[in-house]
Structure formats: C-alpha cells, structure tokens
Amino acid sequence: MTLGSVVATAPTIGSNTETFEYKNLKFMLWDVGGQTSLRSSWAQYLTATDALIYVVDSNDRDRVSLARSELHRIAAEENLAKAPILVWANKQDVKGSMSASEISDALNLSAFRERTWQIFGCSALTGKGLTPGLDWLATTLANKKA
C-alpha cells in the first residue's frame, strides 16, 4: 500500500500480502479475495489480527447487504473480538455512490456497540480519505498498546 501513488489492480484471487510502516507502526496487510468461493477461507487469516480494515464499494448498491452480512460474520470471529474495525467506504469519487453515512447505516455499524470502529469515505483511485482512516487506526492501535 503506497499512499500517493496510483496502482493498477485486479480483483484479488486468493490473497496478497504487503507490509508497510505508518506512524511508527508496522502493518502486515492481508488483502483477501471476496469471491463467494474464497470467503470460507477468511478465518485462517485472523490469528494474531490486531485490526480489521473492511473496504466497501460505495457504488455497488446491489451487494451492500452481502457486505453487511459478511462484515458481521467475520467481526463475530473470536480472534477479532477486541480488534478495532476501520471501514473504508470506497469509490466516493464516483457520482451517485452512497455516502459514508449511508454505508454506515446499510452495514448496521451501530450494532457494534461494544466495539471500536470508524468509517471513512475514500477513493482508492485518488487516495482521498485514506490518510484519515490510517491516522485513526494508528492512534487507536497505539492507545490500545499503551
């Protein structure tokens, strides 16, 4: 993950791993594919997970209910019980996309009463909104370790 640079991507098949440092914290990012056949394998990536970053396509109204059920399913995993959740409402640069507030409602994020979570609108294409999300996550993780 390189902030400030545009990277051509394709849907993830399986998983991709990337390590990066941000605000003196080292992150190992697992980008796991969202296809139906791959979702059952998500649990294997949760051991020693300190945080969950969940990216939602704000322009895909047809699949937001699926995104909600998958988020709630994975957030219920025992290994993620104390992990903060950062939701990125991606594609905010696309006209007609749902706002971060609409995504929050559609995902029923308010149900995570006992969890630390935050949602940020972003555009992975332009980079807008990525830094505030990472700032929040870095601060949250640093405060947890303190």
* pLDDT single digits (tens) 36-91: 555 455 566 677 788 888 999 999 999 999 999 989 988 998 888 889 999 999 99
- Sorting pLDDT into bands at 50, 70 and 90, what band is 108? very high
Taking domain 43-145, whether its CATH number is 3.30.2310.20 is answered by no
% pLDDT > 90, the chain? 53
Task: Cite the DSSP H helix spans in 1-146.
Answer: 36-39, 64-75, 100-107, 130-145
Does the annotation place 34 within a ligand binding site?
A: yes
Q: Which of 9, 17, 35, 79 is catalytic?
A: 35
pTM of the model as a whole: 0.82
Quick check: 116 and 81 in contact, CB under 8 A?
no
On the question of pLDDT at 2 being above 80, the answer is no
Quick check: 141 and 51 in contact, CB under 8 A?
yes
118 is catalytic: no
Tally of CB atoms within 10 A around 18: 11
- In a 3-state reduction of DSSP, which class is residue 139? helix
Dump pLDDT digits (tens) for 26-36: 887 776 655 55
Q: What is the pLDDT of residue 41?
A: 55
Does the annotation place 60 within a ligand binding site?
A: no
Quick check: 120 and 100 in contact, CB under 8 A?
yes
**Cα 144 from Cα 43, distance rounded (Å):** 23
Does the annotation place 135 within a ligand binding site?
A: no
Half-sphere exposure of 67 (CA within 13 A, CB side): 23
**Cα 82 from Cα 100, distance rounded (Å):** 23
- Sorting pLDDT into bands at 50, 70 and 90, what band is 7? very low
Quick check: 3 and 126 in contact, CB under 8 A?
no
Tally of CB atoms within 10 A around 21: 8
| Angle value at C-alpha 112, between 56 and 47, nearest 5 degrees | 75
Residue 108: what residue type? N
Quick check: 119 and 100 in contact, CB under 8 A?
yes
On the question of pLDDT at 1 being above 50, the answer is no
* Rounded average pLDDT over 100-128: 96
